[in-house]
Amino acid sequence: MMASLIEHGIRSPAVLHAMAGVPREEFVLEADRDHAYADRALPIDAPGQTISQPLMVAVVVEALELHEGDRALDVGTGSGYQAAVMAACGAHVVSIERVGSLAQTAAERLRRLQYDVEVFEGDGTLGVPERAPFDAIAVGAAAPRLPVALARQLVEGGRLVVPITENPGGEELTRLRLVDGRWQTESLGPCRFVPLIGADGYEVADTD
Ligand code: SAH
């Protein structure tokens, strides 16, 4: 897995160190433990949800430019893997998940593995106002448009990394940075994510 990350351009020593240290097998289903380090997304314990491909986690976390002691928000806890990688980069992490059972399992897992992550259950499209502002915010699901409430929870110099849907089936990983009180956005390339569902996201599907 590490060779593949380096081959695909991950350069940050902190991110590589974190990816090498977080035990991914603890975050996947029992049946998938044997290929926990394959570079692909794997199912987690909720319909249609996945733990992201390691390369995508590394790309997102590298784009956050985390520094030791940063306050970071992870939207869409899922298994808690990305939150753990962010904490392993030295950040104090707040993570929010809309599916209660996932939030609970991830919170227990992260506590057991002793990562500095506080898990909330709820709609992360509105951020976590009681813990804002943040130096960095990662969104682990695809948003229909720029999530403004999240951008408003950044400190000056803060970074928001979010996949935004450009057309059906095509997302663009986008980084927004607050510079001199203005939002600067840049595109980091195409990506695939599950939909972000909530007040400033997509509507809940009938099957949800
Ligand atoms: N980063 C996670 C995987 C994220 S999958 C990991 O490392 O395992 C995307 C997650 O976002 C799913 O668990 C989904 O339930 C959650 N999600 C979708 N919309 C959300 C919202 N509005 N607020 C919080 N979580 C949301």
Distance from the alpha carbon of residue 84 to the mean position of ligand 1, in angstroms: 14
Taking the CA of residue 138 as reference, the ligand 1 atom at the shortest distance is 1
Amino acid at the residue 117: V
The domain defined by 59-207 folds into: Rossmann fold (3.40.50)
DSSP the chain: -HHHHHHTT---HHHHHHHHHS-GGGTS-GGGGGGTTSSS-EE-SSTT-EEPPHHHHHHHHHHHT--TT-EEEEE--TTSHHHHHHHHTT-EEEEEESSHHHHHHHHHHHHHTT--EEEEES-GGG--GGG--EEEEEE-SBBSS--HHHHTTEEEEEEEEEEEEEETTEEEEEEEEEETTEEEEEEEEEE--PBPBSTTSBPPPTT-
In which band, very low, low, confident or very high, does the pLDDT at 205 lie, cut at 50, 70 and 90? low
Q: Which atom of ligand 1 is nearest to the CA of 44?
A: 8
CA distances from 183 to 12, 58, 127, 156, 177 (A): 24, 24, 17, 10, 6
For 36-76, write each residue's pLDDT tens digit.
999 999 999 999 899 999 999 999 999 999 999 999 999 99
Alpha-carbon dihedral angle through residues 8, 11, 14, 15, given to the nearest 10 degrees: -20
What local confidence, expressed as pLDDT, does residue 120 receive?
98
97 CB within 6 A, ligand 1: yes
Boundaries of every domain in the chain: 59-207
> Residue 169 contacts by C-beta under 8 Å, 6 or more apart in sequence?
none
What number of other Cβ atoms are within 10 A of residue 77's Cβ?
A: 30
For residue 114, what are the contacts with CB-CB under 8 A and spacing of at least 6? none
Question: Is the C-beta atom of 110 inside 6 A of ligand 1?
Answer: no
Whole-number average pLDDT of the chain: 95
- Please write the tens of the pLDDT for every residue from 62-120: 999 999 999 999 999 999 999 999 999 999 999 999 999 999 999 999 999 999 999 99
The reported pLDDT for the residue numbered 112 is: 98
The CA 180 to ligand 1 mean position distance, Å, reads: 31
The widest CA-to-CA distance across the chain, in whole angstroms, is 49
